[in-house]
Amino acid sequence: MSSVRAEFPIFSRTSRGKPLTYLDSGATTQKPQVVIDAELGFYEGWNANIHRGVYEFSERATMAYDGTRDTVAEFLGGVRADEIVFVRGTTEAINLVAHSYLKPKMTPGATVLVTEMEHHANIIPWQLVGATLKAIPVTDAGELDLQAAERMLGEGPLLLAVTHVSNTLGTINPIAELAAMAKRHGVPVLVDGAQAVGHFPVDLTTLGVDFYCFSGHKLFGPTGVGVLWGRHELLEAMPPFQGGGDMIDRVTFERSTFAASPQRFEAGTPNIAGVIGLDAAIRWLSAQDRPALERLDAELLAAGYEMLEQVPGLRFIARPASQVGVLTFTMDGAHPHDIASILDSEGVCIRAGHHCTQPLHARFGVPASARASFGPYTTEQDLLTLTRGLLKVRELFG
Ligand SMILES: Cc1ncc(COP(=O)(O)O)c(C=O)c1O
């Protein structure tokens, strides 16, 4: 464990003059040295644009950029490398699918089936292309109501768009089961994997979904880079999302034709350094003992629940049976922003607010909550520091 933490240079820093207690990995993860070195090495050593030069650096950059598709394809269970589209992140991936896949299919009143626990990134893009949203309800335990899901899939939505892991509750949704249900009803499935890929392996060759997306920065990689995976036949049938350089076949003033996917969806100079950093992040994560990291996450979660239960007036929003390391709570008499500010003075970084899940907060009848989320570098000491900080909040607001 401590050897994993030692690979993240940020933990040698302090915050507000206190040892850093970073419990906001749901918002963004910290970066291991190898990822920082990969980006720096590119800029310092062989920076050049891709696909355009016949000189050494450009060829090397092109190979590194396009070669990362192989790394991602393998990471996702062994899908086709040409099914990997590089985007800015999960948000852009979902917008791409909304514009290029859904919009051409839209008819008046057409619906997209989402869930009550979606991040706004899996709500707004569908609304922007005119879809009516229906949402699978979330139970008091913070889990999807699968009976309702079955019924609602039968109501003819154009797409099921569902998160793999809730960023607010940590719930791990039964994607394979939902995908099998959706298939029986002939409904394609998009999965928002932003909070999943950093916590457990994902195999898209068996999951039964049609689109899957994630962000590099929640996977120990850089910001501004992410992945959309789509089934080859779907991507091939989709029109471009944005137009510009590098996505064309032939251009005239009368008419232009476009490259095959994935190039068709990667207009303009992409985040080359980011993709190189993503490659390093995925290689780093894949080299870890992932079952051990999952066990550690589960053990810390159990310990975290136990510790926080001792804080008077603290209430968990929900406690799903299957979840990743996320503790989301409110405290009687203290606003989540006050909680986060007091913790900040102790060097503890948590998130306060609606975590881009306003409908989920409305479902649980609270406007905001406080969220502590874990990474592979999280320790029991972090949770003890959090608990001590929360007891201090209690003293001040009790
Ligand atoms: C579940 C989920 N989906 C989508 C997003 C959006 O990701 P990004 O801002 O990297 O595009 C997030 C970010 O918090 C998330 O947690």
> What are the tens digits of pLDDT across the range 339-394?
999 999 999 999 999 999 999 999 999 999 999 999 999 999 999 999 999 999 99
Distance from Cα 173 to the centre of ligand 1, integer Å: 16
Distance CA 206, CA 189 (A): 14
Distance from Cα 87 to the centre of ligand 1, integer Å: 13
314 within 8 A of 331, measured Cβ to Cβ: yes
Beta-carbon count within 10 A of 188 CB: 22
Pairing outcome for strands 189-192 and 211-215: parallel
Distance CA 83, CA 209 (A): 13
Report the pLDDT value the prediction gives residue 1, as an integer from 0 to 100.
53
Cβ–ligand 1 contact at 115 (below 6 Å)? no
* Topology (CATH) of 35-286: Aspartate Aminotransferase; domain 2 (3.40.640)
Distance from Cα 177 to the centre of ligand 1, integer Å: 23
| 215 SS3 class | strand
* Topology (CATH) of 2-28+290-397: Aspartate Aminotransferase, domain 1 (3.90.1150)
> Which ligand 1 atom is at minimum distance from the Cα of 92?
11
Pairing outcome for strands 189-192 and 159-163: parallel
Q: What 3 state SS string does 256-302 have?
A: EEECCCCHHHCCCCCCHHHHHHHHHHHHHHHCCCHHHHHHHHHHHHH
Residue nearest to atom 9 of ligand 1 (CA): 91
Cβ–ligand 1 contact at 163 (below 6 Å)? yes
Distance from Cα 312 to the centre of ligand 1, integer Å: 32
Residues assigned a catalytic role? 356
Report the pLDDT value the prediction gives residue 53, as an integer from 0 to 100.
86
Report the pLDDT value the prediction gives residue 52, as an integer from 0 to 100.
82
Nearest to 226 by CA among 14, 76, 25, 51: 76
Residue nearest to atom 7 of ligand 1 (CA): 90
> Which ligand 1 atom is at minimum distance from the Cα of 165?
1
Nearest to 303 by CA among 352, 374, 353: 374
Cβ–ligand 1 contact at 29 (below 6 Å)? no
CB within 8 Å of 89: residues ≥ 6 apart: 194, 215, 216, 217, 223, 224, 225, 226
Cβ–ligand 1 contact at 330 (below 6 Å)? no
Nearest to 77 by CA among 201, 188, 198: 201
258 within 8 A of 248, measured Cβ to Cβ: yes
CB within 8 Å of 201: residues ≥ 6 apart: 77, 290
Distance CA 76, CA 58 (A): 27
- Please report which residue ranges of the chain form alpha helices under DSSP H: 2-6, 33-45, 56-75, 90-97, 124-128, 146-153, 175-184, 232-237, 272-286, 290-309, 336-344, 358-363, 380-397
Cβ–ligand 1 contact at 91 (below 6 Å)? yes
Report the pLDDT value the prediction gives residue 176, as an integer from 0 to 100.
98
Q: Which tokens belong to 396?
A: 């001040």
**Exposed e or buried b for every residue in 320-351, given b needs 16+ CB within 10 A?**
beebbbbbbbbbeebebebbbebbbebbbbbb
Distance from Cα 23 to the centre of ligand 1, integer Å: 17
Cα–chain center distance at 230: 16
Cβ–ligand 1 contact at 121 (below 6 Å)? yes
pLDDT per residue of the chain (398 residues) written in tens, 0 to 9: 568 999 999 999 999 999 999 999 999 999 999 999 999 999 999 999 999 889 999 999 999 999 999 999 999 999 999 999 999 999 999 999 999 999 999 999 999 999 999 999 999 999 999 999 999 999 999 999 999 999 999 999 999 999 999 999 999 999 999 999 999 999 999 999 999 999 999 999 999 999 999 999 999 999 999 999 999 999 999 999 999 999 999 999 999 999 999 999 999 999 999 999 999 999 999 999 999 999 999 999 999 999 999 999 999 999 999 999 999 999 999 999 999 999 999 999 999 999 999 999 999 999 999 999 999 999 999 999 999 999 999 999 97
Report the pLDDT value the prediction gives residue 140, as an integer from 0 to 100.
98
Domain ranges of the chain: 2-28+290-397, 35-286
Distance CA 370, CA 354 (A): 9
Cβ–ligand 1 contact at 373 (below 6 Å)? no
Report the pLDDT value the prediction gives residue 398, as an integer from 0 to 100.
76
Edge-first strand order for the sheet with 111-115 is 84-87, 226-230, 211-215, 189-192, 159-163, 111-115, 132-136
Residue 354 corresponds to which amino acid?
H
Cα atoms in the 13 Å half-sphere on the side-chain side of 263:
13
Distance CA 351, CA 369 (A): 8
Distance from Cα 119 to the centre of ligand 1, integer Å: 7
Cβ–ligand 1 contact at 90 (below 6 Å)? yes
Nearest to 361 by CA among 167, 84, 99: 167
136 within 8 A of 148, measured Cβ to Cβ: yes
> Which ligand 1 atom is at minimum distance from the Cα of 215?
10
